[in-house]
Amino acid sequence: MKTVIWIIVIVVAAAAGYYWWQQQHPAAPPAPETPPLPAAAEPAIEHPLDDSQVSTAAANSAPLPALADSDAAAQDVLKDLFGARALALFYLNDLIRHVVVTVDNLPYEKVAQRLIPLKPAPGQFAVMTSGDDAQISPANAARYAPYVSLVDTLDAQKLVAAYLHFYPLFQQAYRELGYPKGYFNDRLIAAIDNLLATPEIAAPIKLLRPGVLYQFADPELEACSAGQKIMLRIGADNAAIVKKKLREIRSELIARETKAK
């Protein structure tokens, strides 16, 4: 069992020590009361998967477990993708639901730390300081090298073929998350596109530390999504490898969309 979702999960490995980074923002004042809006229409699906390919994938594979009983199958995914030793990098409980939450969070401002399915990368966020100036240390990228190496070896075609088989579990988990009319494949592609749009910064990235936690000195970088900040943190070389694989996966996903939209 393999699935495309784990490429996104590997990106989230960069969230190790993320609490050192995230600036806590005060809660926004309550919005003024407004008249209730009409019930929203069911959103249009932007990237519908070809049901015939999903059915074929299911017919050629073992039956899907129930979502509540899917951890063993999800662990098989990790073994097939990365080898048994890689299981030590993951939190193995409720994997599919936690992957769905993480994918959903990436384009937003923050990621739910307690639901990230990957264990933190070793070490602490590496910063170089000189007087009042601070920047991300080039050495910080090395913390993520084992995760990025796994990304680099993944076969996009095999990943997406398996994703078609296991898609119903991710779809179910996504709707249970609070999107009863949502379509998870749309959210996955939106998350991939958001990561691919991460600014490419070659020079060391300058930081500010207005409190306990660091933030980007450049307001445009500080305004990036949680996923984009993770991409910035892992370093330009690592980000280039991840982006290359994400483009391959996105291309495979688009190729498997139904033609009748």
Residues of the chain above pLDDT 90, percent: 47
The answer as to whether 206 is a domain residue is: yes
The answer as to whether 162 is a domain residue is: yes
Please give the sequence-ordered ranges of beta strands (E in DSSP) within the chain, or none if there are none: 127-130, 133-136, 206-208, 215-216
Q: What pLDDT shows up at residue 78? A: 76
| CA distances in angstroms from 151 to 4, 130, 244, listed in the order given | 11, 34, 10
Is the separation of the CB atoms in 65 and 72 below 8 Å? yes
The answer as to whether 30 is a domain residue is: no
How many separate domains does the chain show? 1
Taking residues 24-36, report their average pLDDT.
Answer: 40
Question: pLDDT class for 38, splitting at 50, 70, 90?
Answer: very low
The answer as to whether 244 is a domain residue is: yes
Model pTM score: 0.83
Taking residues 23-50, report their average pLDDT.
Answer: 55
For residue 173, give its domain range: 5-23+45-255
The answer as to whether 100 is a domain residue is: yes
- Answer whether residue 26 shows pLDDT above 70: no
How far is residue 144 CA from its own chain's centroid? Answer: 15
Q: What pLDDT shows up at residue 1? A: 40
**41-78 burial, b for 16+ CB within 10 Å, e for fewer?**
eeeeeebbbeeebbeebbeeeeebeebeebbebbbebb
Question: pLDDT class for 35, splitting at 50, 70, 90?
Answer: very low
pLDDT in tens, 214-254: 999 999 999 999 999 999 999 999 999 999 999 999 999 99
Question: What distance in Å separates the CA atoms of residue 43 and residue 187, rounded to the nearest whole number?
Answer: 12
The answer as to whether 171 is a domain residue is: yes
Question: pLDDT class for 197, splitting at 50, 70, 90?
Answer: very high
Residue 163 or residue 191, greater confidence? 191
Mean pLDDT taken over the chain: 82
Q: Is the dihedral of CA 102, 103, 108, 109 positive or negative?
A: positive
- Answer whether residue 94 shows pLDDT above 80: yes
The answer as to whether 51 is a domain residue is: yes
The answer as to whether 39 is a domain residue is: no
- Answer whether residue 19 shows pLDDT above 50: no
Q: What pLDDT shows up at residue 121? A: 84
Taking residues 151-180, report their average pLDDT.
Answer: 89
- Answer whether residue 30 shows pLDDT above 50: no
